[in-house]
Amino acid sequence: MREHFLVGLVRQMRQVYPEARTVQLEDAVATAVEKLYVQLRKGAAVADPRSYLAKIAHNEFKRGAQRSIRREVLHEQCPEHLDDSAESEALRDAAVSAIKAEVRSWENANIREVMLVYVESIAYGEPVEAEEVAAIVSQTLGEDISASSVRVWKMRGLKKLRDFVENAGLVDTGRTYGGGNLS
């Protein structure tokens, strides 16, 4: 903080992304600081905090920019399908809660914990890599988990979720929309 590293990081990002608004860059850096704090609270070793902050800040900005671009494209192509109303938000929250409740009921702790991390990341719009999930689940379960195990458990978890949705009658997987099957 005394060296004004965060201010310098925003300036560096301004040079890399000159079209960005300052608030977007500052938000990305703030998110990086938050993620570093979470990692340190978990007891995770962060070898080079400056590199960690820079990497996360750049990734956060790029993800945010990509989401904005996708949203603008979707709005141009199908404005009637975008509904940011309170009702729509409540429905999304209810769906996420139902999925979390289902996942929490699973007996297999490995699949359950992996899928809870993925559901949270999807709910917050923050994609995570298998390596990140492995680190989080390793902390939760108290054992070393590999990224390849995470990928297998994610695949199994997605199948369990698909079965849950189909059995609950939440999706008619036989119907097609826009030329593609929902399943």
Distances, alpha carbon 125 to alpha carbons 24, 46, 83, 145, 151, in Å: 16, 24, 17, 24, 19
Lookup: tokens for 96: 């996420």
The per-residue pLDDT for 179 is 40
Residue 59 has pLDDT above 90, yes or no: no
User: Averaged over 125-153, what is the pLDDT?
Assistant: 89
The per-residue pLDDT for 126 is 75
Task: Give phi and psi for 61, each to the nearest 5.
Answer: -65, -45
User: Averaged over 147-154, what is the pLDDT?
Assistant: 95
3-state secondary structure of 120: helix
Rounded to two decimals, what is the model's pTM?
0.50
The per-residue pLDDT for 104 is 92
CA distance 159 to 84: 29
Collect all residues with Cβ–Cβ distance below 8 Å to 20 and sequence separation of at least 6: 13, 14, 61, 65
User: Averaged over 146-152, what is the pLDDT?
Assistant: 95
Percent of the chain with pLDDT over 70: 78
pLDDT tens figures, 36-50: 888 888 887 888 888
